[in-house]
Amino acid sequence: MATTPTRKVARRVFAREFNDATYTFKESDDDRAPLYVLLPTGERANRIFVVGTLTETEDVGQDSEYWQGRIVGPNGGTFFTYAGQYQPDAASMLRELEPPEYVALVGKPRTYETDEGDINVSVRPESITAVDEAVRNRWVVETAERTLERIEAFENGSSEYIQMAKSEYDSPIETYREQAIEALESLDSQPEATAD
C-alpha cells in the first residue's frame, strides 16, 4: 500500500525566536529529505505559521517580479517573506495587499548567509491570507501557549532537539518566555472599540 507524504506541522513562533533560529539540518542524506530549522527552544520546524501586520511590500526582483513582505508581530519583531515565480499565489497577494493589513502566513523557513557572515532567516510562503484582528489575537494567544510549552519542555527534558539547541545556541531561554508574556500583555493594552 502506497503512503502519501504528509505535510509537516506548521509551528507557531514569534519573530524574535524565529530570527534567532539560524541552524538548519536534514535528518537523512536523501535529496528530498525535509530541511528543518532548529528553534532555540528545542523544536524542529519544517514549516511555520505566522499572523501579524503586513507593514511593507516591495518588488525587489531584478529581471522578474520577486516580492518582499515585512510582517510585524505583537512585540515589534519582524518576519521577512519572499515570493516570486515559484510562489505565484503568494507573490500575487503581496502585490495586491495594501499595508497595513493583518495577514496569516504559512511557509518554509529559509536561511542565507550574508557577505559579512551573518545568518538571516526568512519565510518562503506557501500561502498568505488577509485576516481580521480576532484571528491575529487568537494566534498571539496560541503562539504564546506553544512557546511556553516548548520552554517548559526545554527546561525539563532532554530530547535530541533540545540537546541540539543547547549546543547550537547561547540565547538565554528566558528571553522567549518574556516575549510570550509581552505578546499576551499587548492584547490587554489594546484600546477598546467604542460605539459612536
**Average pLDDT for 105-134:** 93
Residue 152: inside a domain, yes or no? yes
Q: What is the pTM of this model?
A: 0.89
Question: Residue 75 corresponds to which cell in the numbers above?
Answer: 512585540
Residue 96: inside a domain, yes or no? yes
Q: Which domain holds residue 41?
A: 10-188
Residue 3: inside a domain, yes or no? no
Where residue 191 falls among pLDDT bands split at 50, 70, 90? Answer: low
Q: What's the total number of domains in the chain?
A: 1
Q: Is the pLDDT of residue 165 over 70?
A: yes
β-strand 10-12 against 47-59: which pairing, if any?
A: parallel
Least confident of 10-19, 56-65, 176-185: 56-65
16: helix, strand or coil: helix
Q: What is the pLDDT of residue 6?
A: 63
pLDDT tens, 20-43?
Answer: 999 999 998 888 889 999 999 999
Residue 196: inside a domain, yes or no? no
Residue 156: inside a domain, yes or no? yes
Q: What is the pLDDT of residue 5?
A: 54
Residue 17: inside a domain, yes or no? yes
Q: Is the pLDDT of residue 140 over 80?
A: yes
- Residues 72 and 105: their CA atoms lie apart, in Å, by 12
Residue 118: inside a domain, yes or no? yes
The alpha-carbon radius of gyration of the chain (Å, integer) is 17
Mean pLDDT of the chain: 91
Q: 42 — alpha (psi -120 to 50), left (phi > 0) or beta?
A: left
Q: Is the pLDDT of residue 2 over 70?
A: no
159, 167 contact by CB (below 8 A):
no
Task: Please report how the helices 133-156 and 160-168 are oriented relative to each other, as an axis angle in degrees rounded to 10.
Answer: 90
Among 115, 122, 128, 40, which Cα is nearest to 88's?
128
DSSP state of 5: -
Q: What is the pLDDT of residue 31?
A: 86
Residue 39: inside a domain, yes or no? yes
Question: What CATH code is carried by the domain that includes residue 29?
Answer: 2.40.50.140
Where residue 115 falls among pLDDT bands split at 50, 70, 90? Answer: confident
